[in-house]
Amino acid sequence: GRTPVVFVDGAGSRVRDINGKIYLDFGGGIAVNSLGHSHPEIIRTVTEQVSRLTHVSNLYYHEPQGRLAEKLVGLMGGRGKVFFCNSGAEANEGLFK
């Protein structure tokens, strides 16, 4: 069952329900998005990207994913690999492989 709350908007780590009550958002998209709500830089970046491509399957290459992979490998000292996946199950499967 769902908690009987209807959220309408948010800013940073806070969300507001239809009655105007403010809550701290500890769910973070059930641990998949901890970036907060309505950050101007995230809005600008997402708007810029969806004006070109909204989604590209991992069956194909695309430049933003390549740049991110290079940055992540750089943070690992230039050693390692990056595996992009859609779920925790895929992440665990990749780890075991």
Q: pLDDT tens track of the chain, all 97 residues? A: 888 999 999 999 899 999 999 999 887 667 567 788 999 999 999 999 999 999 888 889 899 899 999 999 999 999 988 888 888 888 889 888 8
The 14-17 sheet, strands edge to edge:
7-11, 14-17, 22-24
Kindly tell me the number of DSSP H helices and DSSP E strands found in the chain.
Answer: 4, 3
Distance CA 54, CA 69 (A): 19
Taking Cα atoms as reference points, which of 20, 48, 25, 21 lies closest to residue 35? Answer: 25
35, 25 contact by CB (below 8 A):
no
